[in-house]
Chains A and B, each alone.
Chain A
Amino acid sequence: QKEVEQNSGPLSVPEGAIASLNCTYSDRGSQSFFWYRQYSGKSPELIMFIYSNGDKEDGRFTAQLNKASQYVSLLIRDSQPSDSATYLCAVNILRSGGYQKVTFGIGTKLQVIP
């Protein structure tokens, strides 16, 4: 079982719709969760992070975390063609001694159709 799993897609949604991106993780010791957006040919950029169960909203983006189900998701409301990119889920595990390990999922490719 992979430590962080994502459906590679592509996920196609019409412009203006809600895009729902999902991620599951295997280590119950996972502490914090991140969503990165990566445009083709560019490096990843952080768009959201969440540490506690529940929802966290930032503009058109909402991150949802359910630690009991080991599930984190990203909702993009009013999707725009400029949102077309690969979305990477990353999980941070705090090890003993204060060390941390960040593991990325394979990424989900999102296509927003005008």
Chain B
Amino acid sequence: KAGVTQTPRYLIKTRGQQVTLSCSPISGHRSVSWYQQTPGQGLQFLFEYFSETQRNKGNFPGRFSGRQFSNSRSEMNVSTLELGDSALYLCASSVKKGLAGGGEQFFGPGTRLTVL
């Protein structure tokens, strides 16, 4: 079974631009979560999508947004990029098993975003 894929793997943008990152979950996984990872802050939760609906959101400004499609693929968008947005953006997928949830997440390789 193929793993989580993310595209692109590397991006260089300048301040003020916007960027869209893509994530394809493991087949059969309906939940996709996004994280930002920086050396100082560690892994910080951005948002989670399940069945095209945002289920949970972290403490990030509205410049960070996302969506999920009917095939469970997800995109996240960052508008008006700032230098501090430089980070590794990780996508993780998991299986939802009713109310018990399925917290075992499988991560993609990440997109390394550099803002100049």
* Residues of chain A having any CB pair with chain B under 8 Å: 31-32, 34, 36, 42-46, 49, 88, 90, 92, 94-95, 98-107
Contacts and interface: CB of A to CB of B under 8 A. Distances in A.
Q: Is the interface of B mostly helix, strand, loop or mixed?
A: strand
A99 B108 contact: no
19 contacts: A31-B101, A34-B103, A34-B104, A34-B105, A42-B109, A46-B104, A49-B103, A88-B42, A88-B43, A92-B101, A92-B103, A94-B100, A98-B99, A99-B56, A100-B101, A102-B33, A104-B45, A107-B42, A107-B43
Contacts of B55: 99-100
Contacts of B48: 100-101
Nearest to A96: B99
Q: DSSP class of A's interface residues: helix, strand, loop or mixed? A: strand
Contacts of A94: 99-101
A94 B104 CA distance: 13
Interface residues of B, number: 22
Given A90-B105, A100-B101, A104-B45, 6 more contacts: A43-B108, A44-B90, A49-B104, A94-B100, A104-B35, A107-B42
A81 B48 CA distance: 35
Interface string B58-80: 00000000000000000000000
Nearest to B98: A98
Given A101-B56, A102-B33, A43 B109 contact: yes
